[in-house]
Structures are given as C-alpha cells and as structure tokens.
Amino acid sequence: MQRKSLILGVSAISAALGFMLTVQITSRPSYSGNSTSYIDLRTQVDELAQEHQILENDISKANAQLDEYQVAKESGSSLQQVLLNDQKTVEQQAGITPVSGPGIVITIEYDPSVPAVPEDMALYPSMQDQMLAETVNTLFGNGATAISINDQRLVTTSSIRLVSGLAGIEGVNVNKVPITMPYEIMAVGNVQTMQAALTVESLKDYYNMMGVGFKVAAHTEKNGVQVAGYTGALPGQWAKEGNG
Amino acid sequence: MWLPVLGLVVGVALGLVTNVTVPVAFSSYLSIAILAALDTVLGGIRASLEKSFDGAVFLTGFFTNTLVAALLAYIGNQLGVDLYLAAVVAFGVRLFNNIAAIRRGVFLLLRQRKLNRENAASRAQS
C-alpha cells in the first residue's frame, strides 16, 4: 500500500516535472543564433550601452558641425547679399538696367521751317552719324549719366554707324540696330549743365543749317526721363576664355 | 515502474496541449525551479537505489527545493546580485553527484544480479 502511494507520488512529480519542462521549452523565445544565456544578454546589453554612448558622442559631434554650418550659412547669406548688391551696382553702371531721373529729351527731325543752308542740307545724310555722336559726346561730357537714342541705350561697347544701302540711301545703326528719323535722344543727368553745353556747342545751329530741327525738352521732375536698359549682346556672351 | 515514465509523458503532453507560456521575465525562475526539480528526482532515484528512499522527504524536497530555488533567483534579481548562479552551481554539483551515484548504484545492482545468476548456475550444476 505504501509502495503504491509512493509510485503514485513519484508519477505525479514526474508529470509536474514534464509539464514544467515543456512549458519552459515552449515559452522560451527562439533565437536565430546559438543559445543565449542571461549572462550573454547582459554582455550584449553592456555592449549596446557602449555603442549607445558612442552614438551619443557622434550625435553631439554632428550637432556641433551642424551649428558650424548654420553659422557659415548665415555669414554666407550676408556675403551673398553683398555680392548681389555689387551685381546690381555693376549692372546699373554697365547700363543693363533701365534708369530714370531728371534729364532732357532731344528730338531731331527734318524741319522745313528752320533757316537751312542748301549746301549744308546735302551734307546731312552722310554726316548724321557724326552729328549724333557729337551730340551724345557733348551730353556725356556734361553731366549725362545715361543716354539712349531711339531706346537704344548707349554703353561702353555701343556704336553709332552710318550705313549705306544698295539704293544709296544712308541710315544710322546704333548698337547695330538700324534707327530712323526722327531721332529721339533721352539723357538722364544734370539738366542745366547739359542744356548749357548744348548751347555752347551751338549744336542746334548746326542741325538747323542742315535743315534739321533740334528740339530740347527739359524734364526736371524726379522721374522725368526714363532711359531703357541695354538689351544687346554682352562682351562675354559668345567669346569664351581659352585654355591657353 | 513504468508509471513514473507515464507520468512524465502525461506532463509533457499536458504542457503541449495547454500551450501555457511563461513571460520572459519569469523564464529564469522556472529554469531554476526545473533544475531543483531534476535534482530532487535524481536524488530520489539515488535514494531508492541505496534503499534509503523516503516518500515524504522526496515529496517535500521536490516542492521545497523548486519554490526556494525560484524564490532565490527572484530575490537575487531584486537585489541586483546573480544569486541564481549560486542555485545553478549548487544544484548542478548535486545533479552530477546524484548521476554518478546512480551510475555506481546501477553498476552494483547489475553486478550483483550477474553474481547471483552465476551462483545460482553453479549451485544448479553442483
């Protein structure tokens, strides 16, 4: 009787042990690699903590570098602003941008009412380029800061040329663009100085002798005269610097 | 004799059928408890071979060792000390001692049986 109860007890304990073993084996998460013990896990945690620290340091370094870049960017933007201002100034000086201000408008066209000299009238067609050049040079030399002839802005590379066609008709090209009468010269600058210079040079008289009217209109208001910007080809547009 | 083996099979089947899962946090406690239970069972087999088996000691030893081992691991975990290692070492050493004793006991039993058979055969010849 005692042996029977003993066997039953041992059997019950065996069943409990089997149950515990099965539960433990089935509950244990499967690892892809070799079996991982608690100590291995702690070692891995330590390694991960060290790696975490290293990554934290990397983040700190990256943040510091980012701050440097931000500072550099800000200084770069101010530099960019200065360069943009310079570009704007250079463009204004080069005559690329339209300008406005007080100035004079000269209209040159044939006028039968002027006291013309017949011999001189015949000369005008072949001299009109020189007359225009003389006029704008007088203006440039006496206070004009921006001049255009029939909306062709005069810049450092501009040209005023007399061209003759096959029929013998002579015309004027400004900035290689043909223009026709009436010529309208717009000049921004000191109105009084320009007017005085034109009077001193007697340009009106010369034009009148050739049968051409020379009317000067002064516009002293703030934006009295508007001179167009240069739209032609720039010097470096086609020709590039060579390697040699 | 086969009843304990049957009990083991029933226990394994029960564990598979019920599909009970132990949280990972308590997995180490159950491992120590199983170690203690194995030690108790092997100690019981050793005692039966040495003719000193006591059912009450066996039963109480099983439950006490299992619970104490799990409790020791839990306390160690709470204290931040790897106390479960002490239980692993202690039960591991006892486990190997019991296995060695069982092996010796089985050998002695087999030799005794062989000797008995030879004696019986010699008596039968004479």
A151-195 per-position pLDDT tens digit: 899 888 888 888 887 666 778 888 888 888 889 999 999 998 898
pLDDT digits (tens, 9 = 90+) for A31-40: 555 556 777 8
Place A1 in a pLDDT band, splitting at 50, 70 and 90.
low
CA distance B70 to B31: 8
CA distance to partner chain B, nearest, from residue A49 (Å): 18
A45 part of contact set with chain B, CB < 8 Å: no
Three-state DSSP class for A83?
helix
Contact A19 B14 (CB under 8 A): yes
Nearest-Cα residue of chain A relative to residue B55: A6
DSSP A219: E
**Residues from chain B contacting residue A6 (CB–CB below 8 Å):** 53, 55
Number of C-alpha atoms within 13 angstroms, CB side, residue A177? 14
Q: Which two tokens stand for residue A93?
A: 């000086």
The answer to whether A181 and A109 have CB atoms below 8 angstroms apart is yes
DSSP strands (E only) in chain B:
none
A20 part of contact set with chain B, CB < 8 Å: yes
List the single residue in A14, A16, A27 with the smallest CB-CB distance to B27. Answer: A27
Q: Model's pTM, two decimal places?
A: 0.45
Three-state DSSP class for B81?
coil
CA distance A168 to A180: 15
A30 part of contact set with chain B, CB < 8 Å: no
**Residues from chain B contacting residue A23 (CB–CB below 8 Å):** 15, 20-22, 30
What mean pLDDT is predicted for residues B55-75?
86
Place of tokens 């004793």: B101
Q: CA dihedral defined by B64, B20, A30, B90, rounded to 10 degrees?
A: 0
pLDDT digits (tens, 9 = 90+) for A210-227: 889 999 998 888 888 999
B14 part of contact set with chain A, CB < 8 Å: yes
A237 part of contact set with chain B, CB < 8 Å: no
CA distance A152 to A158: 9
ipTM: 0.77
Contact A18 B58 (CB under 8 A): no
